[in-house]
Amino acid sequence: MSAIEQKSLSELESSNGQKAQALTDGFHLVIDALKLNGIDTIYGVPGIPITDLARLAQAEGMRFIGFRHEQSAGNAAAIAGYLTKKPGVCLTVSAPGFLNGLVALANATTNGFPMIQISGSSERHIIDLQQGDYEELDQMNAAKPYTKAAYRVNRPEDIGVGIARAIHAAVSGRPGGVYLDLTANVLGAALDADAGTNSLVRVVDPAPRQIPAPESIERALELLANAQRPLIILGKGAAYAQADADIRSFIETTGIPYLPMSMAKGLLPDNHPQCAAAARSFVLGQADVVMLIGARLNWLLGHGKPPQWSPNVRFVQVDISPTEIDSNRPIAAPVVADIGSAMSAFLAALKPGQIKVQAAWTKAIADRKQHNIERMAASLDANPNPMNYSSALRAIRDTLARNKGVYVVNEGANTLDFARNIIDMYEPRKRLDTGTWGVMGIGMGYAIGAAVTTGKPVVAIEGDSAFGFSGMEIETICRYSLPVVTIVFNNGGIYRGDDVNRGGGTDPSSMTFVKDSRYDKLIEAFGGTGHHVTDPQGLTKALTETLASGKPALINCVIDPTAGTESGHITNLNPHSGISEKK
């Protein structure tokens, strides 16, 4: 009997005409607990033992978005959590399906996205004796190193508590990924309906404010007031906080130049006069006091150390996690708080005229910006045949400037690097990319998650290699008729498409793909619209038309196979063999 059919148990009539005991089961309790806490969407791949959970979610009015691969489902759940500040939920089958989803769950934890992965699992008594159950795996312990928390529910009456604890863990403090293990026995177990209802938990204030110490605010303001060359760096934590108005007010009131990290672009428009993105290397090397708001001194910022930074730079760091302080460089003025509370406190404590940015500093930044913008303009204005990254992205940039509400998903190596520098963002949380790990394969999951969560159009700008990780999800996009336009930058290979087999054999190079691939034909197989473009004018036309249609589309954007550099902007992280090639 399926879980949906089992619903009828609640109103069974006994043979003597009296009502039997009203019952529920683990499947229903999971759905009831999620709905009780305002979670109305599940991303996943159905199968044993959670097939009926997916069916029941739809029957009970929830939205279930079914994917072709669990990793993409997990990425969609993670980005939904980032956009909403509520945990996105990914549902997977046991063992291999769980492991597929775990990649996305680990990525969510690393990036600070609230996400819950719920997986069905084999029975504990068989797993613990390693007796060889169907898809046997100790999933909870496998998940622990990659999550904020991992829980297993062993009794149906504990499902409500398990989901409540998962929600608390996912969104409190620094958000992250949480694993919830549900055995097949728990899901199918029957329970008195009233007892089941009474076991559910409505979570109250799962992410309480963390108020900064007043002395930490004063110390930070004093350090900024005495700076000669202050700088603010906005990280994706600042974007996640949704304290947009206070962040903008603080930046504009103090006049301090700011540098947005990739997913913080648009918190203030990229064309804001205080934006120093076009002079990134210059300001990092020259700033004497840097205020980090929701940004970490990890590899993306050179760990805060020379030669990228001045050896004498001092830091203000606003972060909800006290363990992040002093992780790479000494932090002179730590402010441990949620960003919303911290920025409110900064504005309340800031005295008129307390911080005065020297004109020489702002002029030096403006001059460097102008120099770099003029240098970039030469590349953007060129019209090579075939297209390169700059000329293709110029066409996308100009089209998106006329469609500022569009979400932009971006991944690849060169595709990511060039797009981040060329495409301006004007609204917060509209740029979604590879984040802290720089991991490829997030593209289609993020695009689907953003489209489902917001209902707004999404443009996914993909390198051809990156697209390959999750490209089959274009079927998912078509199946749900989502307003997603995927642009594949097709240069025929990883980094570039002109590599050769060093051994001279008949096999292609390890770095090249099928020449002249027609990715646009893939989406046509599923009822979407495909475009094949070879010049900026064709790209502009195709993108304009597909955005206006609001329907699934894929643009195969052919670029020069020699365009691009190995590993993009992080070639230094890719070691090369010291052995000479055979002559």
Dump pLDDT digits (tens) for 262-294.
999 999 999 999 999 999 999 999 999 999 999
> What's the pLDDT score for residue 577?
62
pLDDT digits over 190-205, tens only? 999 999 999 999 999 9
Lowest mean pLDDT among 206-210, 257-261, 437-441: 437-441
Q: Is the pLDDT of residue 3 over 90?
A: no
Q: Can you give the pLDDT at residue 15?
A: 47
Closest CA to 466 of 493, 447, 437, 430: 493
Q: Which of 366, 392, 408 is the last residue of a domain?
A: 366
Q: Which of 430-444, 468-482, 550-564, 568-582 has the lowest mean pLDDT?
A: 568-582
For residue 242, give its domain range: 214-366
Q: Are residues 9 and 108 in the same domain?
A: yes
Instruction: Let me know if residue 256 belongs to a domain.
Output: yes
Q: Assess whether pLDDT exceeds 80 at residue 90.
A: yes
Residue 582 binned pLDDT confidence (cut-offs 50, 70, 90)? very low
Q: How many domains does the chain have?
A: 3
**Same structural domain for residues 186 and 220?**
no
Give the domain CATH number at 312: 3.40.50.1220
Q: Confirm whether 581 is domain-assigned.
A: no
Annotate 445-496 with three-state secondary structure: HHHHHHHHHHCCCEEEEEEHHHHHHHHHHHHHHHHCCCCEEEEEEECCECCC
Q: Do 460 and 537 fall into the same domain? A: yes
Q: Which of 119-133, 334-348, 493-507 has the least mean pLDDT?
A: 119-133
Q: Six-digit token pair at 385?
A: 């045949």
Asked if the structure places residue 279 within a domain, the reply is yes
534 shares a domain with 480? yes
Asked if 434 and 541 sit in the same domain, the reply is yes
Whether residue 388 is contained in a domain is answered as yes
Same domain assignment for residues 37 and 118: yes
**Mean pLDDT of all residues in 555-569:** 90
Q: Which residues pair with 484 in a beta bridge?
A: 458
Evaluate whether 167 touches 148 at the Cβ level (below 8 Å).
Answer: no
**pLDDT tens column, 145-184:** 999 999 999 999 999 999 999 999 999 999 999 999 999 9
Q: Is the pLDDT of residue 206 over 80?
A: yes
pLDDT of residue 9: 46
Same domain, 351 and 425: no
Give yes or no for residue 189 having a pLDDT over 90: yes
Same domain as 218, residue 195? no
Cα 379 to Cα 418: distance, rounded to the nearest angstrom:
11
pLDDT at residue 18 greater than cutoff 60: no
Contacts within 8 Å (CB) and 24+ apart, 323-330: 324/174, 324/296, 327/296, 327/297, 327/298, 328/297, 328/298, 328/303, 328/304, 329/297, 329/303, 329/304, 329/305
- The interaxial angle of helices 359-381 and 389-401, nearest 10 deg, is 110
CB environment 341-355: b (16+ within 10 A), e (fewer)? bbbbbbbeebeeeeb
- pLDDT at position 569 is 77
Residue 32: count of CB within 10 angstroms of its CB: 19
Same domain, 488 and 358: no
Last residue of a domain, one of 340, 366, 392: 366
- Mean pLDDT, the chain, rounded, equals 94
Residues 490 and 541 in one domain: yes
Domain termination site, one of 313, 340, 366 = 366
- Same structural domain, 188 and 218: no
Whether residue 583 is contained in a domain is answered as no
The domain that holds 190 is classified in CATH as 3.40.50.970
Are 159 and 20 within one domain?
Answer: yes
Nearest to 67 by CA among 452, 561, 534, 543: 452
